[in-house]
Structure 1
Amino acid sequence: MRVLLRVLAPLVSLAVAVLGALIVVEVAAAWTGAGTGSAGLLVPWRDWRTTAGNTLWTAGPVLAVAIAAAVVGGVLLLVALLARRHDVRLTSPSPGLTVVTAPRVLARIVGRDVRAADPVTAASVTASARAVTVRASGRDDTAAQDGARTAATAVLDGLPLARRPRLTVRGAPDRARTEGVR
């Protein structure tokens, strides 16, 4: 959701900037008398005003625009609410002090120690405030899984986490290396 928010924010900002520039151009044209015809300089404001004055609030197009605006607003609100940071809380060293870390940092710390375990040859770790998932591979998948679980448990026990995340460890045998074959 954060990626979607990062894409939507510049697009909405650009639309607002274009609308503001358009209003500035139209107001300047009205003050100087350049757009004195039946329409504005770039946008037919006077025609739109006449149409809006003759259209009822219960007309189909007005209801469709209102529903579309409500749906777009709801989607933007949902994206903004779901794009919050998902930090991992650590225990506070003193009252009134909040300590957090990013899930990526927790994954790096766990991954470093899991990869250093003897039977593990490769590992990937994903972490959140609620769960840590380790995918370890080694010459023997059960030994790699056990070694990864031991190392990850030791790391999680050693960190001052406010709430210990659930640990999931999956083991897989090493893939056969096929060097030079594509």
Structure 2
Amino acid sequence: MRILLRLLAPLLGLAIAAAGVLGIIEVVAAWVRPGSTGVVVPWSAWRSTLDRLTWADNPVPIIGIVVAVVGLLLLLLVALARRHDVPLSSPSPEMTVSTSPRVLARLVGRHIRATDEVAGATVSASARKVSVMAEGFTSPDPSDGGHLRSTVRDRVDDLLDELPLVRRPRVAVSTRTRKELR
């Protein structure tokens, strides 16, 4: 969602700037040549067309509905694109400290990959949940003791205990055995 906003914001800004430049050109042209019909935009033709329209004519309600729907979609897009930071304990009441979920996921991933049993790991994080998919050379099967899963879970729990998180996220660990040799 944030990427879409980053694309829409400059486009809307350029459209508004172009309309402003167009308005300035038309005003200056009207001052220089009074009674002109417009340099770029045919204002007099547009005015005569708009004078004939009423609120009940067909294009007016349709245009109103389209503008309202586009406005509501833009408001919804902005509301959904808010940052989803992970709050941290602040050192003083005047400060607010947070980190991004990406940083938390990288920190957990780097901590897990430092384990000898882990060949690779994929981590996703949010303020509520940390999900880890670890690959190892030992068997993740619980009948074999599930050594890799317990090792990874212990490492993640230890790291989350060390971090100054306001609310500790849930941890979900899944493992699989890597097929290739070390």
- Whether TM exceeds 0.5 here: the answer is yes
SS at match of 1:122: strand
CA distance in 1 between counterparts of 2:33 and 2:137 reads 82
Is the 1:107–1:125 Cα contact (8 Å) retained in structure 2?
A: yes
- Please, what TM-score do these two structures have when normalized by structure 2? 0.90
> How far did 1:76 drift?
1.0
Q: 1:34 to 1:41 in 2, by over 3 A?
A: farther
- Please, what TM-score do these two structures have when normalized by structure 1? 0.90
Residues 1:22 and 2:22 are matched in the alignment: yes
Q: 1:115 to 1:32 in 2, by over 3 A?
A: same
Question: Over the residues paired in the alignment, what is the CA RMSD in angstroms?
Answer: 1.6
CA distance in 2 between counterparts of 1:172 and 1:122 reads 10
Runs of 4+ in 1 over 4 A off after TM superposition: none
Structure 1 unaligned blocks of 5 or more: 178-182
Q: Work out which of the residue numbers 99, 103, 106 in structure 1 matches 2:104.
A: 106
Q: Work out which of the residue numbers 66, 69, 93 in structure 1 matches 2:91.
A: 93
CA distance in 2 between counterparts of 1:150 and 1:72 reads 49
Task: Report the equivalent of 1:133.
Answer: 131
1:150-181 Cα deviation digits (max 9, x unpaired): 1111111111110111111111221437xxxx
Task: Report the equivalent of 1:180.
Answer: none
> How far did 1:34 drift?
7.7
Task: Report the equivalent of 1:156.
Answer: 160
- How many residue pairs align between the two structures? 175
> How far did 1:33 drift?
0.9
Identical amino acids, percent of aligned pairs:
50
CA distance in 1 between counterparts of 2:6 and 2:34 reads 39
Structure 2 unaligned blocks of 5 or more: 141-146
CA distance in 2 between counterparts of 1:59 and 1:156 reads 63
